[in-house]
Amino acid sequence: MSLPSVLINIAIAALTVVAWLKLVFAGEADSRNLSQRGVASLKYFTVLSNLLSCVVSAIYVVYALATPGPVAPWLLALKLMAAASVMLTFLTVTLFLGPTKGWANMYRGGNFWMHLVLPLLAVADCCFFVPVGTLPFGATFLSLVPTFLYGVGYIYAYVTHRHLPNIGEYDFYGFFAWGARGFIVVATLMFVFTWGSAAGMWFASGLLHTAASV
């Protein structure tokens, strides 16, 4: 493991904790910037994906300090999965939430770190330092697991509360605004973005590490 990678992962773990605590204790309950105070913030994929990345980065640092030699494949797969998850957050904000809810709202407070800085750090780490490109190509499909599990929970919450007048609290991303067919389109795009991010990082990492070994 390289020293820059270890430092990046320490930064990811530390900054994620700080950003989340900022949301928990000082955040605003504001639907415009998709923010909730306290544990209610855990309903957002932004928070969950960044916390996943935080945990994986912490494991990575401990592994780096305790185990000399190459990174274990299971840890590479986790790194790729976590990076693809936060990259989905970045792309969703860039392509959908930013234009519809306002860029200033999306980059306010702790969301500035979770929507922009931390995803870019995770992706840079996987592309330039962590040899995720040495994994079998099939490992890129594991990146879909967090998105799939979150989607199941999101659908369940919406379906079981759709009769309530405050249904917007359960479709806080607005994915059902265009009905079930619209949601299917959005969900398909989410899977494509997630897997595409993982495949892109896998390819870039493999290319760079192959070039470095020549």
What is the per-residue pLDDT for 28?
57
Once rounded to an integer, what is the mean pLDDT over residues 106-126?
Answer: 91
pLDDT tens readout for residues 145-195: 999 999 999 999 888 888 888 777 788 888 888 888 989 998 999 999 999
Strand residues in 22-114 grouped as ranges (E)? none
Once rounded to an integer, what is the mean pLDDT over residues 10-29?
Answer: 84
CA–CA distance, 61 with 56 (Å, rounded to integer): 9
CA–CA distance, 6 with 183 (Å, rounded to integer): 39
State which H helix or E strand residue 209 sits in.
Answer: helix 179-213
Higher pLDDT, 28 or 169: 169
Domain ranges, residue 63: 3-213
Number of domains in the chain: 1
- How confident is residue 36, by pLDDT bands cut at 50, 70 and 90? low
Lowest mean pLDDT among 50-54, 104-108, 209-213: 209-213
Higher pLDDT, 10 or 175: 10
Q: Taking 70 as the threshold, does the pLDDT of residue 34 lie above it?
A: no
pLDDT tens readout for residues 41-92: 888 899 999 999 999 999 999 998 898 888 999 999 999 999 999 999 999 8
What is the per-residue pLDDT for 180?
85
Q: Which residue in 95, 116, 119, 97 sits closest to 107, CA to CA? A: 116
> Which are the contacts of 183, defined by CB distance < 8 A and separation ≥ 6?
155, 175, 176
